[in-house]
Amino acid sequence: MTKEEFHSCRKRLTKTQVELSQILGISLKAVHSYEQGWRNVPTHVERQLYFLLSRLRGSKERQRPCWVVKNCPTERKKQCPAWEFKAGKLCWFINGTICDGTVQDNWGEKMNICRKCEVLSVWRDQIEPQV
């Protein structure tokens, strides 16, 4: 997540820097650092922001579950926690999903896949910075 995307996300959530730091459980200095580009936004903070965006009133409800988007075979679906917990619209928030046919070792790897996926792009598109 870029500094512009972080800032745009905060604005979309209509939160001040102080309010966002409290919601995310991080310091105000961290929020400043992310918005100024002095520090990279950690993947766990990025995930929390997408989660908050996904819970806003008026969010896109017609989003398709990940197993439909990825056309997952039945055997893969049965092994995937997103299917098990009926969370196909929040698959990017759940560890251990079988995206691209394998379980990722860490959140960084997972988010690299998720950033390119149509399921998460619904929320990413809402925070694209204005040029």
- pTM of structure: 0.76
Query: DSSP of 58-118, one letter per residue?
Result: T----PPPHHHHTT--HHHHHH-HHHHTT-TTSGGGSTT--GGGS--SSHHHHHHHHTTSH
47 vs 129: which has the higher pLDDT: 47
Q: Mind listing the pLDDT tens digit for each residue in 48-101?
A: 998 898 887 655 556 788 888 888 899 888 889 999 999 888 888 888 888 777
Name the pLDDT band for 4 (thresholds 50, 70, 90): very high
Domain residue spans of the chain: 3-127
Question: According to the model, what pLDDT value does residue 65 have?
Answer: 87
Q: Mind listing the pLDDT tens digit for each residue in 13-38?
A: 999 999 999 999 999 999 999 999 99
